[in-house]
Amino acid sequence: MIKITKELIDEHGINDKEYSFILESLGREPTITELGIFSAMWSEHCSYKSSKTWLKKLPTSNDKVIQGPGENAGVIDLGDGDAAVFKMESHNHPSYIEPYQGAATGVGGIMRDVFTMGARPVALLNSLRFGDINHSKTKHLLTGVVSGIGGYGNCMGVPTVGGEVEFNACYNDNILVNAMCVGIAKINKIFYSKASGIGNSVVYVGSKTGRDGIHGATMASAEFDDSSDEKRPTVQVGDPFAEKLLLEACLELMKEDIIIAIQDMGAAGLTSSAVEMASKGNVGIDLNLDKLPCREALMTAYEMMLSESQERMLMIIEPEKEKEAKSVFDKWGLDFATIGVLTDTNHIVIKHESEKKADIPLNILESGAPSYNRPYKIVTNPEVDQSYLLKSDKKIIDILKKLISSPNLCSRRWVWEQYDHMVMNDTILRPGGDSAIIRVHGTNKALAVCSDSTPRYCAADPTEGGKQAVAESWRNITSVGAKPIAITDCMNFGNPEKEEIMGQFAGVINGMVEACEILDYPVVSGNVSLYNETNGKGINPTPAIGGVGLLESLDHFSTPNFKRTNENIIILGDTKGHLCQSVFAYEIFGDSQGLPPKVDLILEKKTGDLVRNLVTKLKIDTVHDISDGGLLIALTEMSISGEIGFQLNIDKSNLNYSFLFGEDQGRYIISIEDKNLNDAIEYIEKSNISYLSIGKTNGKKIKIDRDNEIDIEELRDLYENWFKSYLKSN
């Protein structure tokens, strides 16, 4: 018998008040297994005890949402009996400790969330943040994470089609690895995790249980310090080939009327899956761990319940259907074991070696979990006069060259070329654009998917940054001509026990709420990752937004590359030249003062609706939103990808840094042939949206004025080669 000491309680991340509640609820001291269960279920990672009050504010429904937050993944209606199933989650701490396995198991875990719902995964995306490029660990972490993502996804045969990569010193000791998966299912074959049927069997399937990943959820709910490398044993080890077998076995069984409920074993492993399933169904659950398939000898009940070994599921099925179900998993060479039964006790009871190791009322673990209304203070940067950012004698073309070759604006080709992005043959628009496009297999419709975040905006003004994160996602879906439907999010923040950090979270949520409501773009799934700090220094607030939209027909959509010479280039939306918090300010001046650009959500929606109409009704096929780096960076990206140059023809008063590099929101660039120009202008003017004709596509050069022109190929070399040069350098 292990004695429960104050030191042991502290090691499990349980404070004095929480432990007193445990004693009061149980009427006795917990066993070591029970202490481990409380530690896992009450961790920030599993209980959202600092965030759930705020998360309740987010809009979670519209006429397309079938399932919002609360299940393994969100579900939206695509019409014709088809549904998209998707979610984004973090694997930050594990990826810093062991980058390959941390990232790989993050991908594996998010795919299980999706196929647990009955969907076949069709697309993976990611949102990655690394430290300063000169930090001693950055190259190691970058290459390890990218290899882990590619290794797992490629082996699974699921294309990685999009994502984002940012470098910033605030992530030096706390990188972010957010993984997103999108799957396709039939609406009448969606599976849920609510257990039901007293006497029904609790069945374990997949790989065997080992000692890897124990305390993973607790570790993910704590700050790092200089001893973080010692936490390597808490990182799970993945086997993508086993997961591929598990995927196919689950989908095969789902074709039959056998599964009552199903839940993957993610954070907190068997503990969370058993507790969540039983709690949702308002039933009890008895587990006999003597029957649990283990790959290591002499495992304790504590270890079995807290292991985060990968590629495992928990199912509820009727006893008389066990034989039929087992035959499927036998065929795929996977473990299948009946390890428990549903009861009417509303307790979780765990037995091992003929002893009762745990007996806990489920309501204590779920509804009784702590919920904190932490004090918060929303802090924004002071407003500054941006005129100091205009005082430079650098030529426009030299600034363009510096920006286009900078770590946060250069091509991500090296990254996405590590991934198989064409497998399954349904990738219509590959990485590198505003959104990827994935055909709904066997149809003429498609999904548009993207991931976005602008942490520097959120750090400067959390509320405005929260608006922008959602709006940028909506804009990227719109840019390809798709209708944005819903988002998943991954909320990455520092220590919520600090008022300013909690204020960042509150402010971002407030901004997201406003944007989701006005844009009709609800949150249907997601994840919160807090305590992203090392030695008391936190990351920038980073709400990663994964967007999903629908293209009703693949007969016509838009892409960002210029396609023809002598086309008219038009900006849609207001250009005021906002430079504070821009990439220009940071890269040219090393400056991070001031506030981010405002987001006018009403105008954002009007402009986006106009863009989609131009694409679908007037068949405009070149659209790119203006975001990081401003107008000239967007134009250059269009030029490089299309191998066609352009000549600007604008008033000399606009040939300045603010017009060319400002990051005003809600803007798009379109290019239009002469024969369609009048119709397009008429349509734009009827929509009452500001526009400006700024030049034409032409030749193989970018021409800004007489003193500022450059060959596309020279810019392409700068744009494409940063990653290769960086990774080759000492």
Q: What is the DSSP letter of 511?
A: H
Chain centre to alpha carbon of residue 57? 20
Structure tokens at 466: 């929260």
**86 contacts 121 by C-beta, under 8 angstroms:** no
The amino acid sitting at 78 is L
Tell me the three state secondary structure of residue 507: helix
CA dist., res. 548 & res. 1, Å (int) = 51
Structure tokens at 514: 């406003």
Q: What is the DSSP letter of 117?
A: T
Tell me the three state secondary structure of residue 56: coil
For residue 349, give every residue at least 6 positions away whose Cβ sits within 8 Å of its Cβ, in sequence order, or none: 284, 285, 286, 287, 343, 356, 358, 359
Chain centre to alpha carbon of residue 706? 44
Reduced to 3 DSSP states, what percent helix, strand and coil does the chain have, rounded to the nearest 5? 40, 25, 35
Q: What is the CA radius of gyration of the chain?
A: 26
Structure tokens at 282: 């308002």
The bridge status of strand 74-79 relative to strand 82-90 is antiparallel
CA dist., res. 422 & res. 429, Å (int) = 9
**138 contacts 131 by C-beta, under 8 angstroms:** yes
CA distances 539 to 178, 198, 493, Å, are: 14, 47, 7
Q: What is the 3-state secondary structure (H, E, C) of 350-400?
A: EEECCEEEEEEEHHHHCCCCCCCCCCCCCCCCCCCCHHHHHCCCCCHHHHH
**End-to-end alpha carbon distance in the chain:** 54
Structure tokens at 508: 């971002």
Q: Which of 301, 343, 338 is nearest to 321 (CA)?
A: 338
The amino acid sitting at 43 is S
CA distances 652 to 170, 351, 701, Å, are: 39, 79, 20
Q: What is the DSSP letter of 427?
A: E
For residue 134, give every residue at least 6 positions away whose Cβ sits within 8 Å of its Cβ, in sequence order, or none: none
CA dist., res. 69 & res. 57, Å (int) = 12
Q: What is the DSSP letter of 71?
A: B
Q: Is 45 a catalytic residue?
A: yes
**281 contacts 196 by C-beta, under 8 angstroms:** yes
CA dist., res. 389 & res. 586, Å (int) = 10
Q: Per-residue DSSP letters for 170-205? A: GGTTS-EEEEEEEEEEEGGG--------TTPEEEEE
472-486 exposure pattern, b = at least 16 Cβ within 10 A, e = fewer: bbbbbbbbbbbbbbb
Please tell me which residue in 12, 91, 352, 421 is annotated as part of the active site. Answer: 91
Which residue reads 């002598």 in tokens? Answer: 566
CA dist., res. 702 & res. 682, Å (int) = 29
Please tell me which residue in 12, 45, 352, 421 is annotated as part of the active site. Answer: 45
**515 contacts 452 by C-beta, under 8 angstroms:** no
The amino acid sitting at 550 is L
**270 contacts 209 by C-beta, under 8 angstroms:** yes
Please list the active-site residues. 45, 91
